[in-house]
């Protein structure tokens, strides 16, 4: 990684804080940091401060003095979680990003990467989405509260950089999925939710699985471990604080295609039934990641391999819960 001037290679023992180390993306960042021999990671879960509390964040930064911050904190969820809990999502994200970004400034953090969300693009955005389109039109109503908080995080980084010269950059990831995902039907994004649904249907020999919406929306997905690699890459290679950078791999799938891949990975042989009474959300979310690709980054994990690893993680988690005596019906 580089320092604020973008000219010194950071030693593997620099103090690094992953804000949100238990989130899907945060946990993947911790794995990547370990894999790339960054050994001095501070505030590892469960020792992370409660980022919604200013005093806890302040005392954490005073005590551990992180030099580099990767921000992957804040509650997130799929289309149903956004419908049910918009207030939880907006307040959790706003508080966490305000506290961490302000503390990072006051404690002289050399560089910070804020991981945003592709929900921040307008609903009817030219595709593939370029960062110039941010704030150019109304948000998708199914996730506008969460998206507003994620836009505020980008604005915070830009403002602190302009006013104080902080090297705080923002990345906007494609729809991430992977090992530490939320597999619950109500909370999860489409991939983990469907892994859970297909698995249950296979074990219980159900004839069909309900897929929400029409199946026609398209999403660009990225495996969380690849995304984490992209995050560390931009920490080293990217220093434009006023221009967020898209973090994607350039391929999108329809929800129908996604469901068919997951069905095959899980080994379900029944039918897919599309429930058009459920919302579709954004018609298409695909990122223009040309700047990232020009810098030389490439994703490594083909989608089927990534889905298989995610399914294995689901099975592992389900077995663990069984052993702990928590009954997950048909989970193993
Ligand atoms: P989004 O990318 O913010 O819209 O969030 P999701 O990942 O939750 O949903 C993506 C698309 O998958 C939407 O069109 C959903 O209607 C569709 N979808 C189909 N089945 C499911 C499901 O079981 N769970 C979720 N979360 N989405 C589903």
Q: What is the pLDDT of residues 221-269, one digit of tens each?
A: 999 999 999 999 999 999 999 999 999 998 999 999 999 999 999 999 9
114 CA distance to ligand 1 middle (Å) = 24
Arithmetic mean of pLDDT, 115-129: 96
- Percent of the chain at pLDDT exceeding 70: 94
Pocket of ligand 1 contains residue 150 by CB under 6 Å: no
**Structure confidence at residue 6 (pLDDT):** 45
Which ligand 1 atom is nearest residue 78's CA? Answer: 8
**Structure confidence at residue 1 (pLDDT):** 60
Q: Is residue 81 very low, low, confident or very high in pLDDT (cuts 50, 70, 90)? A: very high
212 CA distance to ligand 1 middle (Å) = 7
Q: Tell me which residue has its CA closest to atom 17 in ligand 1.
A: 212
Q: Is residue 10 very low, low, confident or very high in pLDDT (cuts 50, 70, 90)? A: low
Asked whether residue 44 carries a pLDDT value surpassing 60, the answer given is yes
Closest to 165 measured CA to CA, from 112, 230, 115, 96: 112
Asked whether residue 71 carries a pLDDT value surpassing 80, the answer given is yes
Rounded to 5 degrees, φ, ψ at 68 are -135, 140
Instruction: Select from 78, 144, 191, 287 the residue to mutate for testing ligand 1; criterion: most ligand atoms less than 8 Å from CB.
Output: 78
Q: Tell me which residue has its CA closest to atom 10 in ligand 1.
A: 190
Between strands 218-223 and 284-285, the pairing is parallel
CA distances from 159 to 30, 78, 98, 331 (A): 28, 29, 12, 47
Arithmetic mean of pLDDT, 315-328: 74
Pocket of ligand 1 contains residue 139 by CB under 6 Å: no
DSSP letter at 330 equals T
Closest to 177 measured CA to CA, from 316, 77, 245: 77
281 CA distance to ligand 1 middle (Å) = 7
Asked whether residue 69 carries a pLDDT value surpassing 70, the answer given is yes
**Structure confidence at residue 326 (pLDDT):** 55
**Structure confidence at residue 328 (pLDDT):** 46
**Structure confidence at residue 9 (pLDDT):** 54
Pocket of ligand 1 contains residue 66 by CB under 6 Å: no
Closest to 6 measured CA to CA, from 139, 111, 84, 112: 111
Which ligand 1 atom is nearest residue 282's CA? Answer: 4
**Structure confidence at residue 11 (pLDDT):** 67
141 CA distance to ligand 1 middle (Å) = 14
Q: Is residue 49 very low, low, confident or very high in pLDDT (cuts 50, 70, 90)? A: very high
**Structure confidence at residue 8 (pLDDT):** 45
Average pLDDT over all residues of the chain: 94
**Structure confidence at residue 4 (pLDDT):** 43
Which ligand 1 atom is nearest residue 217's CA? Answer: 14
Q: Map tokens 């810098």 to a residue.
A: 295
Q: How big is the chain, counted in residues?
A: 332
Token code pair at residue 2: 């580089």
More confident residue, 1 or 181: 181
The H or E element containing residue 201 is helix 190-203
């Amino acid at each position: 990684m580089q320092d604020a001037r973008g000219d010194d290679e950071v030693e593997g023992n620099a103090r690094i804080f992953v804000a949100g180390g238990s989130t899907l993306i945060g946990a993947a960042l911790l794995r990547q940091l370990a894999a790339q021999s960054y050994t001095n990671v501070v505030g590892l879960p469960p020792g992370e401060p409660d980022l919604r509390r200013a005093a806890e964040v302040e005392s954490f930064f005073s005590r551990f003095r992180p030099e580099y911050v990767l921000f992957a904190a804040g509650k997130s969820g799929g289309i149903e979680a956004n419908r049910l809990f918009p207030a939880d999502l907006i307040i959790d994200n706003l508080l966490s990003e305000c506290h961490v970004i302000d503390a990072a400034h006051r404690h002289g953090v050399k560089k910070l990467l804020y991981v945003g969300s592709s929900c921040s693009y307008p609903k009817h955005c030219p595709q593939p989405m370029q960062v110039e389109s941010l704030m150019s039109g109304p948000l998708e109503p199914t996730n506008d509260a969460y998206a507003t908080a994620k836009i505020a995080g980008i604005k915070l980084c830009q403002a602190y950089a302009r006013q104080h010269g902080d090297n705080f950059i923002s990345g906007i990831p494609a729809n991430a999925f992977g090992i530490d995902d939320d597999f619950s039907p109500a909370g999860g994004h489409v991939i983990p939710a469907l892994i859970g649904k297909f698995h249950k249907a296979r074990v219980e020999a159900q004839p069909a699985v309900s897929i929400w919406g029409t199946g026609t929306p398209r999403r660009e997905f990225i495996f969380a471990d690849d995304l984490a690699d992209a995050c560390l890459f931009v920490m080293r290679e990217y220093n434009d604080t006023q221009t967020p950078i898209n973090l994607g791999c350039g391929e999108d799938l329809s929800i129908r295609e996604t469901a068919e891949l997951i069905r095959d990975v899980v080994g379900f042989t029944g039918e897919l039934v599309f429930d058009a009474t459920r919302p579709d959300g954004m018609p298409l979310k695909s990122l223009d990641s040309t700047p990232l690709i020009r810098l030389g980054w490439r994703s490594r994990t083909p989608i089927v391999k990534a889905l298989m690893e995610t399914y294995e993680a689901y099975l592992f988690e389900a077995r663990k819960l069984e052993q702990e005596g928590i009954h997950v019906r048909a989970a193993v």
